[in-house]
């Protein structure tokens, strides 16, 4: 079996690219299940109930990251969105779920866990390694396929998590940097890993934002808002993982990038 994992969706253009390309990708790879990180889908910052439902037309689960609470009122919506997963290692009083078990239409179940890194991340979070252990201890033994979205900045922390969970989960896939890495591989224990799957955002941009705004921010060193989500050709980055649903082990991972003119 195969599942597809897609990186951070940025804004309306990103959502539209998902809508148009995911059905084609499902057919092309014969993938039965699609997970997408939606932390930047609402105007570049966070998620809303409407944007989540839009993504869930073509995808099975939406994961989140450090932008989880950027949209006002989303804390009220998330409780009604059982296919939306925010990082599990947030304060336990926060609304929403950090992991969930979902039915794979092709057979069996898939557990999806979202975790946020601690290195170079502004928001405080509990230890993602300890949290991963806690969640894995709670998962029923019948759930073999387990996918972790590790939303983190540092490649070292992401590689550490992949190796920490090798042999215990099906895949550890990185998000947050919006830049796809060239290191997709299956680790010795049967865990597919990739440091960052990339984004769904404008090709001529800096992480999905308008280049002039980002240049102004860096060149001046002054605090600067980045309100403009760039448009034009959208690049959709992701990875497809081949796995055995009876063992939960991955046998292959392949990264991909598609482009679409909107
Ligand atoms: Fe992001
Ligand atoms: Fe992020």
Give the distance (Å) from ligand 2 centre to CA of residue 214.
16
**Closest ligand to the CA of 7:** 1
Burial 229-259 (b: 16+ CB within 10 A, else e): bbbeebbbbbbbbbbebeebbbeebebbebe
Q: How confident is the model at residue 122 (pLDDT cuts 50, 70, 90)?
A: confident
**Closest ligand to the CA of 14:** 1
- The residue whose two tokens read 């860096």 is 218
196 pLDDT above the threshold of 80: yes
The average pLDDT across 12-24 equals: 98
Alpha-carbon span 175 to 43, nearest angstrom? 18
Alpha helices (H) along the chain: 11-29, 49-56, 74-77, 128-138, 155-164, 211-220
The average pLDDT across 120-129 equals: 90
Contacts of 93 (CB under 8 A, 6+ apart): none
Alpha-carbon span 168 to 191, nearest angstrom? 7
The mean of the pLDDT values for the chain is 97
Give the distance (Å) from ligand 1 centre to CA of residue 176.
4
Q: Catalytic annotation on 176?
A: no
Alpha-carbon span 193 to 155, nearest angstrom? 12
227 pLDDT above the threshold of 90: no
Give the distance (Å) from ligand 1 centre to CA of residue 198.
9
The average pLDDT across 157-179 equals: 98
SS3 content of the chain, % helix, strand, coil (to 5): 25, 30, 45
Output the CA torsion sign for 35, 83, 46, 151: negative
Catalytic residue (choose from 67, 151, 176, 178): 67
**Closest ligand to the CA of 117:** 2
> What is the pLDDT at residue 224?
87
Contacts of 97 (CB under 8 A, 6+ apart): 82, 84, 85, 86, 88
Would you identify the CATH topology of the domain 2-261?
Purple Acid Phosphatase; chain A, domain 2 (3.60.21)
Q: In the chain, where are the structural domains located?
A: 2-261
**Closest ligand to the CA of 41:** 1
Give the distance (Å) from ligand 1 centre to CA of residue 148.
16
**Distance from the Cα of residue 9 to its chain's centroid:** 9
Give the distance (Å) from ligand 1 centre to CA of residue 259.
19
The average pLDDT across 22-43 equals: 98
Give the distance (Å) from ligand 2 centre to CA of residue 39.
7
pLDDT of 126-165, one tens digit each? Answer: 999 999 999 999 999 999 999 999 999 999 999 999 999 9
pLDDT of 70-120, one tens digit each? Answer: 999 999 999 999 999 999 999 999 999 999 999 999 989 999 999 999 999
């Amino acid at each position: 079996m195969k599942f597809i994992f897609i990186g951070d969706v940025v804004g309306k253009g990103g959502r539209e690219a998902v809508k148009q390309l995911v059905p084609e990708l499902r057919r092309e790879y014969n993938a039965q299940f699609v997970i997408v990180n939606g932390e930047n889908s609402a105007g570049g910052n966070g998620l809303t109930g409407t944007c989540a439902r839009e993504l869930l037309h073509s995808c099975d689960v939406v994961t989140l990251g450090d932008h989880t609470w950027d949209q006002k009122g989303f804390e009220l919506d998330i409780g009604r969105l059982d296919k939306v997963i925010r990082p599990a290692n947030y304060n336990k009083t926060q609304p929403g779920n950090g992991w969930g078990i979902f039915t794979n239409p092709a057979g069996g179940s898939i557990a999806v866990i979202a975790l946020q890194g601690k290195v170079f991340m502004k928001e405080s979070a509990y230890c993602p390694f300890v949290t991963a252990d806690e969640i894995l201890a709670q998962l029923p033994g019948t759930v073999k396929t387990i996918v972790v979205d590790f939303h983190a900045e540092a490649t070292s922390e992401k590689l550490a998590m992949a190796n920490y969970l090798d042999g215990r989960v099906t895949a550890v896939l990185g998000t947050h940097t919006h830049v796809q890495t060239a290191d997709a591989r299956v680790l010795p224990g049967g865990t597919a890993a990739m440091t960052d799957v990339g984004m769904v955002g404008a090709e001529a941009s800096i992480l999905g934002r308008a280049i002039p705004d980002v240049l102004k921010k860096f060149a001046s060193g002054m605090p600067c808002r980045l309100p403009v989500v760039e448009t034009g050709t959208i690049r959709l980055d992701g990875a497809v993982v081949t796995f055995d649903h009876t063992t939960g082990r991955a046998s292959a991972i392949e990264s991909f990038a598609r482009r679409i003119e909107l």
